[in-house]
Amino acid sequence: MNLITHDRLLERIKYDPLTGAFTWLTHQKSTEIGKEAGCIDNCGYRKIAVDRHPYMGHRLAWFYVHKEWPEVIDHINGVRNDNRLCNLRNTDMRGNMQNWAMHRDGKGQPGVSKRLKGGRYHAHIFVNGVTHHLGAFDTEEEACEAYRIACADPSSIQKYIPSKVKNGLPIGVNLNKKTGNYNVEIKVNGERFRKGGIKSLEEAIALLEQVKEKA
């Protein structure tokens, strides 16, 4: 499937790097000039359909400014719909680059998020393209300590959870080489969950984590 060209993108959408906002420049059946483009999906990302093809907002933002498609975009502050250019970082999930601050809670603690259901603190770390769940803790301090240990010594991650990886992807995520899209397939509570046609690896990983949390 052919991706939108840079010239066509500039015809259809205006992107503001300072605010991260997308607005339509042309009027069609489902769009109106001056209106905000896209919507927030179930994983918290902004998704925009341009010429009947869905794109992740953060990928469009990078392409809009740099005129080249990124490999994987990381939201630096952990807020998935904050598409300001200063909050976007292009990373190589199969290389040696590491993103040590995937999640932040309201107090800005890296690698820690608080679940509304149950109220426990979860520690995560993102290393070499793989999301590792370091555990659920009763206090924020315990979660921060698990994250701190993992940052200082990545080999310690094994103490918390085995690295479940196959072909460079987390178990439960696979790549459809024909379409270039990702699939999420996992068994939850005895039933198989499957969703295909996911455009980016980060969206697939986010969905996988979401399904696991509901189990």
pLDDT exceeds 90 at position 204: no
Residue 6: band (very low, low, confident or very high) from pLDDT cuts 50, 70, 90: very high
pLDDT at position 128, please?
56
What is the rounded distance in angstroms from the CA atom of residue 48 to the CA atom of residue 45? 10
Q: For 37-53, how does the pLDDT look when each residue is reduced to its tens digit (9 = 90+)?
A: 999 887 788 999 998 88
What is the rounded distance in angstroms from the CA atom of residue 89 to the CA atom of residue 180? 22
Q: Tell me if the pTM is above 0.75.
A: no
pLDDT at position 207, please?
81
High-pLDDT (> 90) share of the chain, %: 19
Average pLDDT of the residues of the chain: 76
What is the rounded distance in angstroms from the CA atom of residue 170 to the CA atom of residue 154? 17
Q: For 77-135, how does the pLDDT look when each residue is reduced to its tens digit (9 = 90+)?
A: 777 888 998 888 887 544 323 443 444 434 446 677 776 666 777 777 766 555 677 77
Strands 22-24 and 13-15: antiparallel
SS3 breakdown of the chain: % helix, strand, coil, rounded to 5?
25, 35, 40
pLDDT at position 156, please?
59
Closest CA to 55 of 75, 37, 67: 37
